[in-house]
Amino acid sequence: QPDGKPYSNPAEMSGQILAAAEQSGLALTLLPVLYCRSGFGSPDVTARQGRFRNTSAQYLNLWQRCAEMLQQQTLHRLGLAPHSLRAVAAEQLAEVLQACRGVDQPIHIHIAEQQREVDECEASLGARPVRWLLDQHDIDHDWCLVHATHMDAGEFSAVLKSHAVVGLCPSTEADLGDGYFDIINWFEQAGRFGIGSDSNLRLSPIEELRMLEFQARLQSGKRNVLSGPGFSCGRSLWQQALTGGAQALGQKVGRIAPAYRADLIELDEHHILLDGRKGDSLLDSWIMAGEQSMIRTVWVGGQKRVVEGRHVARDALQAACRKVMLELL
């Protein structure tokens, strides 16, 4: 609760997130966050952070309750999210990972987001954050390293070999002035990446991809940098993000193939900026110059959720959202 006291149901927030996903028809990978302290060397959180503090034991109780809520769900699954090495002590991270060992689930952690974080980690743990994580835990396909902005050459190579996915949030990293991820080198070596919006400054996957390509152009002095052989830049970005995003979510999505869920987007080919375009040029126009109005239809698990550019429950959901926002203000 706002004063830091637990709700009678410690999974109240997770339950509300799940209910929102159900109501809007979204597929969800729920990642309860473990947050124990305000920074390296700190014994606890600050007073303002009390509302999201958990001990390891409290977190494992929360995680178990979430697992119970998600039983028999077909669109949703559960994962772990130890927030960061600065917010979770080494022994707390080890305790939670050990308790959940053997469970197939995605694990997300913010890592090497700022140079200050790297410096403080070296002072506290004796190693850079990505290096410490690699040395202390088995980092593999299940892990999503969010940001991973400040890696040295050794860390970069080791993460590539681990088959972990990096979760890139270009709008957040720009907003906070955190720096550039080495996307050019990562892309050339077939590194896996998904994209997100950590600060929720904007909520647009294509804007994040556009920023990623523009960042690469600014760094290299070239155009169409993040494009694979035989593919346009837009198609390369889109397909790589789908593959990496599916891995980060731990869900069978992102391609049209047997056993993969029918999560599909149809672009409006008669939109003024898409009219007459075909194939890869459609994706290029959408990602490099487009926005939400170019989306005509969205299916989730084969069910239509957006028709002619409007969510099927938009009026009701928008009215409810407006009511809550006005109450909060």
Catalytic site residues? 147, 198
Residue 298's beta-bridge partner residues?
A: 265, 306
Q: What is the DSSP string of 72-127?
A: T-SSEEE-BEE-BTTTS-HHHHHHHHHHTTT----EEEEES-SHHHHHHHHHHHSS
Query: Hey, what are 41's tokens?
Result: 């060397």
The rounded distance, in Å, linking the Cα atoms of 65 and 29 is 15
For residues 30 and 250, is the Cβ–Cβ distance under 8 A? no
Token look-up 């960042």 returns 215
* Residue type, position 102, single letter: G
Q: Which helix (H) or strand (E) holds 232?
A: none
Token look-up 């028709």 returns 307
